[in-house]
Amino acid sequence: MSVMDRFRLDGKVAIVTGASSGLGVAFARGLAEAGADVAIGARRADRLADTAELVRKEGRRCLTVATDVADPESCQALVDTAKAEFGRVDVLINNA
């Protein structure tokens, strides 16, 4: 049994902040590879499309939301949008 088999996230929903570059992109892609649908947020919303495409190439759904983690209302909007779209949130990666 592989490591990925042991840590499957099928049916789970993850949120990743700071997903427009660097580790945020890697986290989003890795969670999708493990089977999770992913909601991604970042201030540079224009760069989220590239990350979303990587998630979708893994066969998972991806939601992009412009998010500034310094603004509590913006963070709440990310969570609310993810819950409205996917029905739940199971994993939160506070990368930003």
Average pLDDT by consecutive 10-residue portion of the chain (96 residues)? 83 97 97 97 94 98 97 97 98 94
Tell me the CATH number at 89.
3.40.50.720
Number of separate domains in the chain: 1
> pLDDT at position 3, please?
74
How far apart, in whole angstroms, are the C-alpha atoms of residue 11 and residue 25?
Answer: 20
DSSP state of 9: -
> pLDDT at position 57, please?
98
pTM above 0.85, yes or no: yes
Range of the domain at 9: 3-93
